[in-house]
Structure 1
């Protein structure tokens, strides 16, 4: 397996999509600080091939980047000249995806030649391609970190699995499986040959019986074939007689059906009598209709005469209207008289009330005039009292001021010098003047209130007097109008009475009107009764006609039945629907049916006798061949011919079977020899025999060649034991035997590297399939000298095969200086993600 291109995304520390192109590269170093994702590249290669890694064989979802929901790994690789592409995708939730494709070439547009899907089928196909399981791959191609001693510590069985895959010895497993298949095939062939021998013995036993049967069936066929013509004539005569008998029977059945389909004589008479009765009922009903129509015409003529004499409904309506008008006008006259009487009384009362109101208004006016005079006197007295009070008040002030005046001094009021002090007089009576003014004002107020009340009473009396006068005048006008209306009503009443006398004559108008209306109603009632009688007669006529039609349809049905019977007799003819026609046709058909039934019975008897005689003759002829009387001769002859042919074919088949089995003994010898050879191959190809010998030789050769390389790497200090235990011999300790568990880290790495170099050299010599080595760390345990020797050994891995790829993972700086083709990685200190600084593709 030679990797060509690796692509990862979301895989461990590789969050983004990263592709490593490994085409044309031989020794590639993967360098970078711890945690930069160096070992992840090798894990991705193993995961793409086997779906797991040395560190995560079960919980593979832990390979997904912590910030992603899934990861994708794709590896393009070459095996035995074929290009393959392995694709695997994991999801934190949901199904994982696994796909393996064989491509026509290493190109983006390459055609897909083969596709394998799902985890288990992909893994199994990869194991067949590489010739090794996951564990064998990790012990040979991949020297994973901290797992260099896998091959050293492996059991002999696990080492054999690695060597089988490396040297292609798994082909022996395929050869063993093929040999086992050959054994099973040979045994199946022998079983079939034994069954064939049993069939041949059975065929020999059946041959004489088959020949005897063929002779008998052939003779029977010849005899039947010779008698076929004679039997044919007899059978034809029998069949003809049977057909005649069947036809006679069918004719009899047809005639009987015709007789059954005919109506009975009772039914015919019943329908005919009903038709005659219905016809008579129609005649009587028609006469009743004619009489009713005549009676209606007489009643209508009498009604018309009365209408012409006394008038019709229109005249009666006019008379009734005049009577109603007369009554209405009489009531109007009475109402008008009562209205005039009432209006006269109301007008008289209104005139008296108006006079009373006028007198009251005069008195109220006189009272108002007296109140006005009294108010004027009170106002004058009040004015005089105010003037007297004013004079008295000034006198009082002068009297008081005089006390403070001094001749020659300024006046305290006008500031003029007082020339002379006035003479003192009696003190003014201001209080008396004030009381006189209050009394005068009280009298004035009372007089004003009295005037206002008198004015209001006078105004009200005046308004009432005016209203009373207006009412009296209005009632007087109404009285005149009522008197005019009464005269008009009396005139209208007289006119209506005169008109009624002219139309109805003297007497009570309503009694005269009722008498004439009663006469008209009697005539109308007679007309309605006559019309109802005519309608009833006509309805009865229609009922009788319906019954007549129904009985006519009954006669028509009978006529149709008789016509059908004539058709069944082969003499189609029409039958009239009259009762006489139906009766005559019925009698004629009956006579014809009796005649035809007699003829059919006689013909049937003759045909039955002939058929019986022919049947007896055929039965006697068939009995000679042990056949039933109703056997089909042609079918019997054909069956005999088929039986003879089948017997002959059976003889031929048995003879051919015996001829074909003539070489059975020789084929048994050949098949037995092939089975024995296959069994010997199965025994020789058992893992405990030939393959064990080959693997033992390869282990010994690997130990010898590994010792050579280990001595070179350790300057002769160590070599492997001569057996296949791969123990390390410490030459500095007297060739002490040391197991792999007792070696230091550096010693373990050098021993593993020595075995890898030896294995690569053996593969190069023998044409094995170690096209790549993947080495992860281990160099840190070596000093500078041993590191140089290890690199020389790794260089020989590459030099031995021009297309072999060796990938070395290390963080040792000296390793970085010793290799030219480097993939340089770094770690993002913030996110922890891998950054590819250089070397993703060839330099």
Structure 2
């Protein structure tokens, strides 16, 4: 990556447009950004970072105030950076979001952030030639080209103030966080978690398998009724259980076979006794049946006589039914004659010829009226048409009046519609102003509601800062007290090492006339070191608390400045009013299309109403003419129809009456004929009934009808007689059978003794059968459980071995167990990266320290068994001993930090596989160096630019400016300080 030019406008302290030509500055490989404190040196680095990633490093990026406060309202804040990366020359332009004064009205509005990427030498094949304008697409493309995240860029390209000095003195945990963020070793942490999760899963599986083995052992013990003794071999115990169950099953089966044979013999004897008892019972029952039938012989004869008389009466009953039907038909015919005569208002005995003659006359008269029915129908149609024409004339007259009224009110309606259209247009214009003011007031209201929380946080941060100051002061007082006490007891500490005749390490004398005496409560070196460590930690906490308080104070001031004299209540009320006004304006503006359409329709309706009035008047005249013609025709037709309908409402009614009268006369004639026929048939059926009774052998018809029986009674008699005959035949057949021959009905069988013996034998056999079944089931259950238990043992062994191996491996990967150095896999990888960084940084540190200092990486475990692997000490060549980095002086710490930063930049760039970093910035820190050391640092930087890099230095040190020959003056910052760029 090589920078070509940088342009800033209204950014940071730069209120006007400024341009930095990096091609010119970097021609010699080294340039200096020099100026007083606050002149804007670091702002140029922030501009480069903002152009690339849209953010600035450190706490400045958290504040998010990048716009120059003194810039003109119309001046747009933007940063333009042109650079070459991976052979592609591109131009980046970014603008942050900020508050600007409204162009119309009072207050502020938010200027949204923007970003664009333009390809200077032509776009790559996979990119659009017109470039990119979306912020997210620009960010992803820049990160892909550079091959590093924003955090990595700030660490390896812009070496920030104090960051690497902090890294140099930090403990293992803090150093691990930074290295993991730079080298992206999260995947190794995922590997560690994978092993832990895998161990946990396999542990659950092993636990489930172990539990299954225990459950199977418990079930075998439950089925067998015995448990293994403590410490005994469970497999041998299982074999003994299986053998014992087999023996018990065989013994139970043998006993069951013996008792089953005894039961069969007893049941055979019982069966013989039961057969004999059954035969005796059958003989006794047959004799009893024949005796009972003999006693009921008279009743059986009566049943036979009743059934015979009922069968002879069947023909008589049929003739009686026919006579009864004939009588019913005659009565019905007589009733119909009476009803028909009443309908005709005539006598029932009127001659038939007279009835038929009257019917013919009525039908002839009805035929003469048929020709008038079409005229009556047409008359009704014309009357309805007259009503319709009258209604149409009335409706058209009403429509004419309405149209004339609309013509009179049309000018006023057009004027009102034009006013409504103007009102909607004005609301549309006013809406933009109200919405902009609403956005502004909403932002101020959020600020007002955020201010109380910020003030509370400021009070809490101030209290924490004061507590940190007090704690640091106490730790420093304790350290000074311990140092003073240790100095006071130093003589006694040296005297404790003296031996008679041995030279004194201080004066060299072999005589020790008055050794120092120990003081009360002596202080050890370890006590002083612990106090010093505690004092340094308290100082760090004090600095952090002070920074937090400063940030909280700045946040409160920013909110108060943004809020001004506004209050939350006033802003809330104003916002509610603006929302109500906005809703009303939106509603009015939304009606503009509808109102415009209504106005156009009203303007077009003038001619249309005139045409409609003319059409309506023409239609009224035509309808009135047609109505008069139809009225004349209806009056002429009514005279003819009046004679035809006589006293009836209509011609159809009179004709219907004549036809009904003719039909009633014809019906009376037909009823008279039917009645005469029915009387003849009744006489014939009465004669046939008398003859049938005599033929059947009855004295008269009444006697034959008395012998009638229902089908149900005849069926009962037949079934009862059949049952008696069947019982008698069955009893006689049973007594005559060979099976019952010679059986004495009075014989005693002795069935109870045989039954009792069979029951005893059966119960004994059933008990032994149950015992044998339980023994067989127990043996089968034990065999199945034993097979499952052996299979579970076979699976559990390898699972236990695998889990033990996985558990040991997970412990090693996570820095426990057999891992002697207590290093996790992630720490091991980071340690390897840190070792590479130490080797790369040592080359520069030895050069800048005149060969005195070297970095030494340590992978030893930490104190009290804590994890190690990320130790970083300094080897002092003067003493030949390792020194903690915390013991370096200020200038030495800067040299070590700069060397470490340059080494880390090389390793991270190689690790990420990103673009070649041809440009490097170093921000401050040179003020702690003396002239000779500064020469060594400059020589190291010369080595960097000799390798093709461009190094930009940021410093206010005067001697640095004197070492840079050419000066380029950029501008005056807002406080009057001068920023110079020298090369």
Alignment TM-score, normalising by the size of structure 2: 0.30
Alignment TM-score, normalising by the size of structure 1: 0.35
